[in-house]
Amino acid sequence: MKAFAGRVAVVTGAGSGLGRELAARFAREGMKLVLADVDEAALARIEGELKAAGAAAIAVRCDVASGADVEALAARALDAFGAVHVVCNNAGVAPLGVVWENSVADWQWTLGVNLWGVIHGVRVFTPILLRQQDEGHIVNTASVAGLIAPPGMGMYNVSKHAVVALTETLHHDLAARGVRVKCSVVCPAYFPSGIAESERARPATLREARAKTDEDLAREANMRKAVQSGRLSAADIAARVFEAVRDERFYVLTHPRILPAVEARMRDILEERNPGSPV
C-alpha cells in the first residue's frame, strides 16, 4: 500500500502493547482507526488519546475467539467509515506450561485467541477487502515462536506456527487471484508489552483450576523478565509493521539475533536430525 491518509485500519488487541502502537502509528499516517479489545477500559483510554491527537477512531469491545464478535466488529467498521483497508489480527495471549500438563481450558483459551482470532479475522475481513477492489493489507501477528519451538511454551508455539502457516497460505491464495490485497506475518521475539500478564483477560469459563507449581511460577517470572528486558519497544515493532505494509513485504522479522535459531531448526529438519534446543 502506498496511500494511507483517510483510509481505515482495524486493530485487534489495541488496548495495549503492539496493538496500541500499531493504532498510534497508523493514526500518524492519517488513517481512521477501529480499535478492538476485550479490555474496555484500556480501549477507552487509547480511543481518547487518539481522538485528542486529532484521529478519527472508534472503540469496539471484541473477543476475537468469537466469530460473531469479529463479524460485529467488521459491521461496526463499515457503518462508521464505509470501508476497511488494513486489518491487524494482533490480539494474543501467552499461557505457559509443559504440554502434558496444560488443560483443555488452557488449550481452548490459547487457540481461541491466538489462532481462531486470526482465522476469524481472515474469514470475515478478506471478502470485504476483495469486494472493494482496492489496495488492502492483512497483518497477522505471530511470533518467533511460530518459527522455533522453545520448551515450556507448547500451546503458544502451536498457535503461532499455525498463524505463520495460515498467513503463508493466504499469501499464495491472494497471489493466485492476482488481487491488490496483500498480507504480512509478524514474528517478533520478546519486547516490552502486556503479554506476560494476559491471564487478566482470561474468560471465567476457561479459568484453570489447577494450582500453579513452583515450576510454573518460575517460568512465568522468567517470561516477565524477558519481556520487559527486550531492547526493541512496541513502537519499534509497529514501525517495522508499517514499513512492511507500505513496501508489501510478507515476513516481518524484527529481531535478527534470533535468526540463527530459526536457521538451526531448518537445518535440523532438512538433515533429519533430532531437534536442538532453541534456547
Task: Give pLDDT tens digits for 256-267.
Answer: 999 999 999 999
Which of 71-75, 176-180, 212-216, 274-278 has the weakest average pLDDT?
212-216
C-alpha cell at 163: 498463524
Nine-digit cell at 245?
Answer: 505494509
Per residue in 128-180, pLDDT tens? 999 999 999 999 999 999 999 999 999 999 999 999 999 999 999 999 999 99
Tell me what percent of the residues of the chain surpass a pLDDT of 70: 98
User: What mean pLDDT do residues 20-31 have?
Assistant: 98
Largest separation between any pair of C-alpha atoms in the chain: 56
Sorting pLDDT into bands at 50, 70 and 90, what band is 196?
Answer: low
Report how far residue 257's alpha carbon sits from residue 238's, in angstroms, rounded to the nearest whole number.
19
CATH superfamily ID and name for 8-270:
NAD(P)-binding Rossmann-like Domain (3.40.50.720)
In 3D, which of 102, 264, 90, 274 has the Cα closest to residue 188? Answer: 90
Whether the pLDDT of residue 124 is over 80: the answer is yes
Q: Which residues are catalytic?
A: 156
Q: Is the pLDDT of residue 65 over 70?
A: yes
Distances (CA, A) of 162 to 116, 140, 260, 278: 10, 11, 21, 19
**pLDDT value at residue 209:** 67
Contact 66, 109 (CB under 8 A): no
Per-residue pLDDT, 214:
73
> In which residue are the cell numbers 502506498 written?
2
What's the pTM?
0.93
The total of other beta-carbon atoms located within 10 Å of residue 134's CB is 16
For 140, the enclosing helix (H) or strand (E) is strand 136-141
Q: What are phi and psi of 194, to 5 degrees?
A: -95, 15
